[in-house]
A and B are shown apart, each in its own frame.
Chain A
Amino acid sequence: MEIRSKEFKERAVFAIHDASLQQALGKARGGFVGKRAQQAAELPEFEALREEAKNRKNAILGHLDHWLERYEAAVTAAGGQVHWARDAAEAREIILGICKRVGARTVTKGKSMVSEEIGLNEALIEHGMEVVETDLGEYIIQLAHEPPSHIIAPAVHKTKDQVSDLFVAAHGGPRKTEVADLVNEARQVLRDKYFRSDVGITGGNYLVAETGSSVIVTNEGNGDLTQTLAKVHIVTSGIERVVPTLDDVTLFLRLLARSATGQETETYTTFSTGPRRAGDPDGPEEYHVVLVDNGRSKMLGGRFREMLRCIRCGACMNHCPVYGSVGGHAYGWVYPGPMGSVLTPLIKGLDNAYDLPNACTLNGRCASVCPVKIPLPDLLRELRHLQHRQELSPAIQRHALTAWRFVATRPKLYRAGEWIAVRLLKALARNGSLRKFPFAEGWTAARDLPAPAGKSFIEQWKSRRGQS
């Protein structure tokens, strides 16, 4: 997928004025937050689980090489095959190679953010294959030729009316307007695709070293139909998703559904271990796992290691006021919201996503709900440091910061400047507020700046103490 994060500001403005988008975001906002809060409140162990998950994942990441090798050996023992891809291009080549070898014409897909990350659909279509997204949300946005706008609810930005229009265009009439009818229509269309599919591609929420299993979690059952009915099952997963044991999977599963959709558990949790066995009446004849690095080993070595704990639940974006206002498409690539604002610059380059770490108010809600306690605001601030040091930030901002440091480290100069500024601003104010402020027109265009009191805090403190 082409990155368009450089257009963040333009896309954000566009999003704020898109009435349909605002309507859809408004409907989504309360639901996720309220349901998650309820689930967290109903499980007394929830906070302890977050702490334990954080610590366990840190321990696993410290031996990531070992667990990947153990996992690979277990997959091989179960008759599956593990492929390693350093970047998106290698991952695409591996998957294309398998699809071509088996003469694939129809490829069905369960939801996989890694497949979006590596731009898989475009590559398969380019080689003449029919690619069918089977998660209802993914199917809707595929018909709309749009990328997902949320990692667990990819079509959250679409209204029911828009879905009705897309279905009429794709399936012919009559136009359905009830949710039940729309879901049923997609069910009928996709059913046929599952049974005709040559290759089924899914993500992998967890890769279990103990058993060589890949795990998917869904509510619809589309991932299961995809991987059971196709002749070949290919799993795409990031290298950081490996965990040692089934007990470890349980630790993360107890947090995932509660944090993501506000459910105690999703409807289906499936462990896949190798291809069809002797005597099995169903299941794929081949089972492949593509392990994708794509910047992750680099994250492991630096100050962004904590990001590798992410379990892709989407709680951070559900609680983000910026995401809630502009939606996922403004972010311009695969991962939106707080986690996307960290991942996008790290995977696609700091200079390709300058605005993302800055489109954050540092309010901290994301970190307060993250099930694995990733300090997202700290990581975003760290990215801003890197941008500053690499001189990617605007020159005027860097000069202003240099000037600020010069003044702020000289108390006498600082106080003199302050003495002038508070009086000047007070004099410029009308009715207690400033309608316009030099260099901050963007801020004052939509709101007034409260005028200062006319004397600094230190001056007031001194004079009041003198009175007592």
Chain B
Amino acid sequence: MSTARERILRDLHIALKRGPLAAEQRTALDAERPAHIRPAFDEDLIARFVRKFESRSGTVARVATLAEVPEAVEQYRTAKGLPPRAAIGAALAGLAWPQEWAIHHGAAAIDETLALSRAETGVAETGSLMLCSGPESPTTHNFVPDDHVVVLEAAKVVRHFEDAWVVLRQRPGGIPRATNFVSGPSRTADVEQTIQLGAHGPRRVHVILVGG
């Protein structure tokens, strides 16, 4: 008896009125990489990223160098009245975090209040952060805590999603287990189409833009 896989593929061949494709046809299809229409814009990439990200209730602070990031985070933490603890992706472990903080680099726990991540890139087209999973940036950091602070280096901001794919394809190890595009705080409109922030993911997403 044939498997479901074989029978579905056979049904597809019947539907397409042909047999399986020949090897050279397959190779030709795989080589096809059609480029699609991209939204055109003249705006400065950083200005656009910030404008778009803020339009969806995200917030942005700017610093000149990576070394200034811990102080910017400390300002954010005290302004929001958060306890002195954080889940910090290993990508940011090397920064001089305040001595009195309780920090860890593992997965976010259910009572995690603040997480810090370093974005792989930012997409100016829609003002979206691209975060890549791994010890450098655990996925739970992006979704579990109420406050998520993301460090984005201005030099890493790209124009379109297509440019982000180039970054992803060139990455050592290729595409990560989870590639998360985050375009602001979690939201829902499921009760009477009223927009409410902080549905399940972070209530606030704060970008610290470095340089530029």
Partners in one complex: yes
Interface of A toward B, CB cutoff 8 Å: 24, 27-28, 31, 43-45, 48-49, 52, 56, 62-66, 68-70, 78, 84-86, 90, 134-137, 140, 153-156, 158-160, 163, 179-180, 182-184, 187, 190-192, 195, 211, 213, 219-222, 224-225, 228-229, 239, 244-248, 250-251, 253-254, 261, 264-277, 279-283, 291, 293, 297-298, 300-302
A183 touches B196 (CB 8 A): yes
Whole-angstrom distance from the CB of B153 to the nearest CB of chain A? 21
A-B contact pairs, 16 of them (CB 8 A): A85-B4, A182-B191, A187-B199, A220-B199, A221-B201, A222-B199, A224-B143, A267-B201, A273-B179, A277-B176, A280-B133, A282-B108, A291-B8, A293-B8, A300-B16, A301-B15
Nearest residue (CB) in A for B4 is A84
Residues of B within 8 A of A70 (CB): 30
Residues of A within 8 A of B134 (CB): 277, 279-280
Residues of A within 8 A of B5 (CB): 84
Residues of B within 8 A of A182 (CB): 191
Residues of A within 8 A of B182 (CB): 267-268
Whole-angstrom distance from the CB of A240 to the nearest CB of chain B? 10
A65 touches B138 (CB 8 A): no
Residues of B within 8 A of A153 (CB): 189-190, 193
Contact (A267, B143) CB under 8 Å given A134-B200, A211-B175: no
Contact (A183, B21) CB under 8 Å given A49-B37, A163-B191: no
Chain A CB within 8 A of B168 CB: yes
Interface residues in B25-45 (C-beta closer than 8 Å to A): 26, 29-30, 32-40
Contact (A45, B199) CB under 8 Å given A63-B21, A179-B191, A228-B178: no
Whole-angstrom distance from the CB of A150 to the nearest CB of chain B? 10
Give how many B residues have a beta carbon under 8 Å from the other chain's beta carbons. Answer: 77
Whole-angstrom distance from the CB of A300 to the nearest CB of chain B? 4
Complex alpha-carbon distance, A180 and B194, angstroms: 9
Question: In the complex, given contacts A90-B4, A224-B201, what are 10 additional A-B residue pairs having Cβ atoms less than 8 angstroms apart?
Answer: A56-B34, A69-B9, A84-B5, A84-B8, A86-B11, A228-B143, A247-B34, A248-B34, A265-B183, A280-B138
A267 touches B183 (CB 8 A): yes
Chain A CB within 8 A of B79 CB: no
Which of A52, A264, A301 has a CB less than 8 Å from the CB of B14? Answer: A301
Interface centre among B108, B168, B200, B201 (most CB of A within 10 A): B200
Chain A to chain B: the 4 pairs with minimum beta-carbon distance, closest first:
A221-B201, A301-B15, A220-B199, A137-B190
B189 touches A268 (CB 8 A): no
Chain A CB within 8 A of B3 CB: yes
Complex alpha-carbon distance, A187 and B105, angstroms: 25
Chain A CB within 8 A of B76 CB: no
B9 touches A65 (CB 8 A): yes
Which of B7, B26, B35, B180 has a CB less than 8 Å from the CB of A224? Answer: B180
A267 touches B185 (CB 8 A): yes
Complex alpha-carbon distance, A302 and B135, angstroms: 49
A179 touches B196 (CB 8 A): yes
Complex alpha-carbon distance, A35 and B25, angstroms: 43
Complex alpha-carbon distance, A224 and B128, angstroms: 16
Which of A49, A184, A297 has a CB less than 8 Å from the CB of B15? Answer: A297
Interface of B toward A, CB cutoff 8 Å: 3-5, 7-9, 11-17, 20-21, 26, 29-30, 32-40, 52, 56, 105-108, 110, 126, 128, 133-135, 138-140, 142-144, 160-162, 165, 168, 174-194, 196, 198-202
B180 touches A270 (CB 8 A): yes
Contact (A246, B168) CB under 8 Å given A269-B181, A283-B177, A297-B8: yes
Complex alpha-carbon distance, A272 and B52, angstroms: 25
A140 touches B128 (CB 8 A): no
Nearest residue (CB) in B for A287 is B177
Nearest residue (CB) in B for A136 is B190
A300 touches B15 (CB 8 A): yes
A268 touches B192 (CB 8 A): no
B193 touches A31 (CB 8 A): yes
A270 touches B179 (CB 8 A): yes
Residues of B within 8 A of A136 (CB): 188, 190-191, 199-200
Residues of B within 8 A of A261 (CB): 189
Complex alpha-carbon distance, A276 and B134, angstroms: 9
A282 touches B175 (CB 8 A): no
Nearest residue (CB) in B for A269 is B181
